Chain A
Amino acid sequence: MNRPPLRPPPLAEWLARRAAPGPDWRDVSAGDLHEEFLAVARADGVRRARRWYWRQALGLVVEMAGRVTRAAADAVRSALPRKGDQMFAALAQELRLAFRAMRHQPLASGVVIVTLALGLGANVATFGMMDTLVLRPFTFPEVDRLVMPSENSTDDPYPKETIAPAGVRAYEAPWQTLEATAAYGWWDVNLSGGQEPERVLGFRVTAAFFPLLRTVPARGRLLDARDMTWGAHHQVVISDGLWRRRFGADPAVVGRTIRLDGEPHEVVGIAPPTFVFPDSADIWAPMSFSASDAEDRSSRRLTVFGRLRPDVSLAAASAEMEARFSALETAHPDAYRDRRLVVRSFSEGMIDIGMPKVLVLWQAAAVLVLLIGCTNIANLLLARGAARQRELAVRLAIGASRWRVVRQLLAESVVLALVALPAALAVAALVFRLVKGAMPAMLVRFVPGWDRMAVDAGLAGWAVAAALLTAVIFSLLPALQSSRPNLTGTLRDGGRGATGLAMRSRLRRGLVVAEIALALPLLIASGLAAVGAQRFASGPQGYDPAGVLRARTILPEATHPTPEARLQFTERLIDAARQIPGVELAATASVMPTVTSNPQRRLTIEGKPVDPAHSISISYRAVSPDYLATLRIPVVHGRSFTPADRGAARPVAIVSEAAAQRFWPGESPLGRRLRLGSDDRPWLTVVGVAGDTIHDWFDSRREPTAYVPVAQAPASSINLILRTSVPPETVADATRRAIASVDPSQPAFEIMTMTEALRVRTTGLRFISALMAAFGLLALVLATVGIYSVMAYYVAQRRHEMGVRMALGASARDIVRLTVGQGARMAALGIVIGLGFGVALARVMENLLFGVVALEPWLFATVALTLAAAAVAASLLPARHATSVDPASALRV
């Protein structure tokens, strides 16, 4: 068998490349490491070789940090004038002193720099995401002049796909304030012919689509008005990606005919490489309406956007659109019942509606982490200020102004922050890399800007500003405190003694309390996100996802025009799938859990009055007889479908428990009749009640659902579901072949295990929870370090007192109790304050993330106890130290 070539750990390799002394050295350095890695692997085994590689990579990073720091120091030093303007000279001296101070205290400076690198890095990364994904997700020319009207229903704020074909035509009429409007709608298609068939992401677009986005073709032409004639609309533009992937970048593809959904289409042009709007589209086709479609006001599946004329404000355009919308409302009251017009900016309308909120949450978490880091640093500086009390007092005594001393301490902090900056940028770059790698391609297409996240000049500039601000925040308090003129006391007793001590230690204890109060809500938030994600992916689903493989294929109208043809395909596919070794049960469904779409049908119940204003809808699935058995969805009452439920036999349906309880409360639905869809559809007799399933954790749990036999309602959307006796992923290839054996032009897509599908569906939430967990962990570590350092300082300061206490008969237990009690009191106060913040933050998260329950008392308790335990643990070590004080030596000093 052919073993895949041994490769170094990718993340370490990436780090090593980045840390090479220059771009020229990246390949050589990585090549050296690769070569030596293979040698180490041969000699000592792969595990050791990986560890070896990581050590080498980290060594290179440490080297790089040294180089960067030296270069920065040199640059600052040479940039500072030694003579000339007095203020600059003063500043130069300040910074020179600051550099010297930093180098004289390598350990303290190192701690500060690492803390800052992590805290600042987290902030730079979240700000970068916010900037790319929310503020500037698109890069079209003058994107800020694009606007997006949507006809939202009162209960659905989602801005896309709200306009029906007739509406598109109404908006296409000329405007005073807009250059034009364009529309687009989903058109994913099967691309066949030549190689293996493929499901490609496509959109139908109107003639103004490309001009409004200011796009020019890379080859050929884009779509225009002449392509929009109904019946002659078989021209397509393909993306640069599809051109390269599928057609080997052959320029002659322009003018060639390709088969889409079984029908010939002419490729008229290729879009420029960066153009993939909307949603990573690979094909654009003309949007053309038949005479009857053009009057359709009910299928709201299209998205409209427009471009403002020069010098026209959004408000003016909104007013004109509002007027047109009112006219539509008056003319077609039924179609516009409960609808209102919302005009948004293009970027606001196009991005995922939850994205800004999530990013605000991350940014808030990152700021909290940075603040906790700042508290730690402030504490450290306070301690250092205490140690330097005498030096500063001497300076003040011989005539330095207080401002002069504060300025020097501020300069020291600024230097620390600036030195931490490159490391912070590296942390941000690492976060971007991890974040990009963790997102499945299936989802990346829905997040515009995702691929562009990077550390660039703009972000670096922002980081400098953030670093300076941070330096001021963490150093101002200690600087003011240390420069408080209290000369006589300090100079007289040599810096030791009670003067100013009470005040200083109150400040330090206050900082620790603040730190715990900040860390607690962060930990609660990360706990909530983690619990939510866990529940989604591993909680009860109403079916058994283990041991199941699923695959999708969609039958185009052109190749499978009749219900008979669709049913024949479906049944032959199930037969073919049953032949695969290891497959126990095979079934199909038009829609199944974890698939993003969730089609609804209007529900009419026999014998119940119909309110025309408020129709009831129910989720609809056409399934094969073994569907419930394959997914192990229990049949609660009645029976499942059988092969006899077909064609001329009595039309039947199965309803979910939630539907039974809601529509037939207190009675059995068995034998009752219902109708799905329009009034000309047949009455279906309910023969069974199935257990509830969770279709989608985000918006459809325990939804009323109706199942019908696919043999009585053949569907074009086919989800093949296989329960296997072998690991399900091992039959994936055979499944692909089974689909091809029934119809070689049918592409299979999204072939994956149910467990994997669930994982992908919850990626967003897991993502949020992973980042929040990282923030939470950082906060916990920083808070623990903070408590430890304050307690250690407290013990050191009170050595004398401890000695006296021990000399007077205090036992080691008493000393430990005294010290730990001090730590516990600070923790308790911080926890009480933090719980208040925590409840507030949990409420915010409840609104933000579906499935998060704000008040999970056990979680609050766990987090509070964890922090308390960390506080006690952090004060135990200094307490043990305190008991080791030798009374005699402590008293002698």
Chain B
Amino acid sequence: MQSMPQVYLGEFEHLILLAVLQCGDSADTVSVRQTLATRAGRRVARGALFTALDRLETKGLVRSRLGPPLDERGGRARRHYAVTASGRQAVRAAHAAVAGLARGLDAVLGRP
């Protein structure tokens, strides 16, 4: 039996976690922001993304590391992100909650 998740995910945080997972190994601030734009249609302000990532890291849902300095970034490093185990758990729990609440509403929501 799984324990209840300790952390509650905001909608924005939820989307970011999914975007990081989508990007896989190559997840960094640029690709996450692009994924949010292309896949979720959300154009996210840069500062908002950064502060949200900081918040997720403090909660232990993602971890980050700095890459090597790159010429195409003016000699600056990329910050790469990966979702931690508790991050994945939080996403699962959020999905379970959504699925539980949505059950039986297919007719109302017009889903196939």
Instruction: Enumerate chain A interface residues (CB-CB to B < 8 A).
Output: 5, 7-8, 19-22, 25, 27-32, 34-36, 38, 56, 59-60, 63-64, 67
B46 touches A27 (CB 8 A): no
Expressed in whole angstroms, the Cα–Cα distance for A31 and B66 within the complex equals: 12
Expressed in whole angstroms, the Cα–Cα distance for A29 and B73 within the complex equals: 10
Instruction: Enumerate chain B interface residues (CB-CB to A < 8 A).
Output: 29-30, 33, 45-48, 50-51, 54, 70-74, 76-79
A35 partner residues in chain B, CB cutoff 8 A: 30, 70, 72-73
Q: Considering only CB atoms, which chain B residue lies closest to A13 in the complex?
A: B74
B74 touches A32 (CB 8 A): no
B50 partner residues in chain A, CB cutoff 8 A: 20-22, 25, 28-29
A32 touches B30 (CB 8 A): yes
Expressed in whole angstroms, the Cα–Cα distance for A392 and B65 within the complex equals: 58
From A32, A56, A63, contact of B29 by CB (8 A): A32
A36 touches B47 (CB 8 A): no
A31 touches B47 (CB 8 A): no
A67 touches B46 (CB 8 A): no
Most chain A CB neighbours (cut-off 10 Å) among B50, B71, B74: B74
Measured CB to CB, the closest approach of chain A to B70, in angstroms, equals 7
A38 partner residues in chain B, CB cutoff 8 A: 72
From A19, A25, A31, A64, contact of B74 by CB (8 A): A31
Provide a sorted-by-A list of 29 A–B residue pairs whose CB atoms are within 8 angstroms. A5-B71, A7-B74, A8-B74, A19-B47, A20-B47, A20-B50, A21-B51, A25-B50, A28-B29, A28-B76, A28-B77, A28-B79, A29-B46, A30-B73, A30-B74, A31-B73, A31-B74, A31-B76, A31-B77, A32-B29, A32-B30, A32-B46, A34-B72, A34-B73, A34-B74, A34-B76, A35-B72, A64-B47, A67-B47
A64 partner residues in chain B, CB cutoff 8 A: 47
A67 partner residues in chain B, CB cutoff 8 A: 47, 51
Interchain residue pairs A-B with the least CB separation, the first 3: A31-B76, A31-B73, A63-B47
Measured CB to CB, the closest approach of chain B to A850, in angstroms, equals 44
A60 partner residues in chain B, CB cutoff 8 A: 46-47
Measured CB to CB, the closest approach of chain A to B47, in angstroms, equals 4
Interface of A, secondary structure class, is: helix
Measured CB to CB, the closest approach of chain A to B54, in angstroms, equals 7
A21 touches B54 (CB 8 A): yes
Expressed in whole angstroms, the Cα–Cα distance for A36 and B30 within the complex equals: 8
Q: Considering only CB atoms, which chain A residue lies closest to B48 in the complex?
A: A63
Q: A38-B72, A64-B47 are in contact. List 5 more A-B contacts (CB 8 A).
A: A22-B54, A32-B46, A34-B72, A34-B76, A59-B46
Expressed in whole angstroms, the Cα–Cα distance for A63 and B49 within the complex equals: 11
B76 partner residues in chain A, CB cutoff 8 A: 27-28, 30-31, 34
Expressed in whole angstroms, the Cα–Cα distance for A64 and B45 within the complex equals: 11
Expressed in whole angstroms, the Cα–Cα distance for A8 and B73 within the complex equals: 11
Measured CB to CB, the closest approach of chain A to B104, in angstroms, equals 41
Expressed in whole angstroms, the Cα–Cα distance for A60 and B46 within the complex equals: 7
Measured CB to CB, the closest approach of chain A to B103, in angstroms, equals 39
Expressed in whole angstroms, the Cα–Cα distance for A7 and B76 within the complex equals: 13
Expressed in whole angstroms, the Cα–Cα distance for A67 and B45 within the complex equals: 13
A8 partner residues in chain B, CB cutoff 8 A: 74
From B48, B51, B54, B78, contact of A31 by CB (8 A): B78
Expressed in whole angstroms, the Cα–Cα distance for A56 and B30 within the complex equals: 14
B45 partner residues in chain A, CB cutoff 8 A: 59, 63
A5 partner residues in chain B, CB cutoff 8 A: 71
Expressed in whole angstroms, the Cα–Cα distance for A504 and B65 within the complex equals: 63
B73 partner residues in chain A, CB cutoff 8 A: 30-32, 34-35
Expressed in whole angstroms, the Cα–Cα distance for A30 and B71 within the complex equals: 13
Measured CB to CB, the closest approach of chain B to A605, in angstroms, equals 66
Expressed in whole angstroms, the Cα–Cα distance for A636 and B72 within the complex equals: 62
Expressed in whole angstroms, the Cα–Cα distance for A21 and B29 within the complex equals: 14
Expressed in whole angstroms, the Cα–Cα distance for A27 and B29 within the complex equals: 12
Q: Considering only CB atoms, which chain A residue lies closest to B51 in the complex?
A: A21
Measured CB to CB, the closest approach of chain B to A643, in angstroms, equals 56
Expressed in whole angstroms, the Cα–Cα distance for A67 and B47 within the complex equals: 9
B47 partner residues in chain A, CB cutoff 8 A: 19-21, 60, 63-64, 67
Q: Considering only CB atoms, which chain B residue lies closest to A28 in the complex?
A: B79
Measured CB to CB, the closest approach of chain B to A298, in angstroms, equals 57
Q: Considering only CB atoms, which chain A residue lies closest to B76 in the complex?
A: A31
Measured CB to CB, the closest approach of chain B to A499, in angstroms, equals 49
Expressed in whole angstroms, the Cα–Cα distance for A546 and B51 within the complex equals: 55
Expressed in whole angstroms, the Cα–Cα distance for A716 and B46 within the complex equals: 61
B74 partner residues in chain A, CB cutoff 8 A: 7-8, 30-31, 34
Measured CB to CB, the closest approach of chain B to A588, in angstroms, equals 45
Most chain A CB neighbours (cut-off 10 Å) among B47, B51, B78: B47
B72 partner residues in chain A, CB cutoff 8 A: 34-35, 38
Expressed in whole angstroms, the Cα–Cα distance for A38 and B76 within the complex equals: 14
Measured CB to CB, the closest approach of chain B to A585, in angstroms, equals 45
Measured CB to CB, the closest approach of chain B to A490, in angstroms, equals 46
A20 partner residues in chain B, CB cutoff 8 A: 47, 50
B30 touches A27 (CB 8 A): no
Measured CB to CB, the closest approach of chain A to B28, in angstroms, equals 8
Expressed in whole angstroms, the Cα–Cα distance for A758 and B50 within the complex equals: 48
A7 partner residues in chain B, CB cutoff 8 A: 74
Given A28-B29, A32-B29, A34-B72, also A56-B77 (CB < 8 A): no
Expressed in whole angstroms, the Cα–Cα distance for A88 and B18 within the complex equals: 48
Expressed in whole angstroms, the Cα–Cα distance for A28 and B45 within the complex equals: 15
Most chain B CB neighbours (cut-off 10 Å) among A32, A36, A63, A67: A32
Q: Considering only CB atoms, which chain A residue lies closest to B73 in the complex?
A: A31
Most chain A CB neighbours (cut-off 10 Å) among B73, B77, B78: B73
Most chain B CB neighbours (cut-off 10 Å) among A7, A20, A25: A25
Expressed in whole angstroms, the Cα–Cα distance for A28 and B80 within the complex equals: 10
A28 partner residues in chain B, CB cutoff 8 A: 29, 50, 76-79
Q: Considering only CB atoms, which chain B residue lies closest to A27 in the complex?
A: B76
Expressed in whole angstroms, the Cα–Cα distance for A60 and B33 within the complex equals: 15
Measured CB to CB, the closest approach of chain A to B30, in angstroms, equals 5
Measured CB to CB, the closest approach of chain B to A392, in angstroms, equals 39
Q: Considering only CB atoms, which chain B residue lies closest to A59 in the complex?
A: B45
Measured CB to CB, the closest approach of chain B to A580, in angstroms, equals 37
From B46, B71, B78, contact of A56 by CB (8 A): B46
Q: Considering only CB atoms, which chain A residue lies closest to B64 in the complex?
A: A28
Expressed in whole angstroms, the Cα–Cα distance for A808 and B78 within the complex equals: 74
Measured CB to CB, the closest approach of chain B to A67, in angstroms, equals 7
A27 partner residues in chain B, CB cutoff 8 A: 76-77
A59 partner residues in chain B, CB cutoff 8 A: 45-46
B54 partner residues in chain A, CB cutoff 8 A: 21-22
Measured CB to CB, the closest approach of chain B to A187, in angstroms, equals 40
B71 partner residues in chain A, CB cutoff 8 A: 5
Q: Considering only CB atoms, which chain A residue lies closest to B52 in the complex?
A: A21
A31 touches B70 (CB 8 A): yes
Most chain A CB neighbours (cut-off 10 Å) among B33, B54, B72: B72
Expressed in whole angstroms, the Cα–Cα distance for A35 and B76 within the complex equals: 10
Expressed in whole angstroms, the Cα–Cα distance for A67 and B46 within the complex equals: 13
Expressed in whole angstroms, the Cα–Cα distance for A60 and B45 within the complex equals: 8
Expressed in whole angstroms, the Cα–Cα distance for A15 and B48 within the complex equals: 17
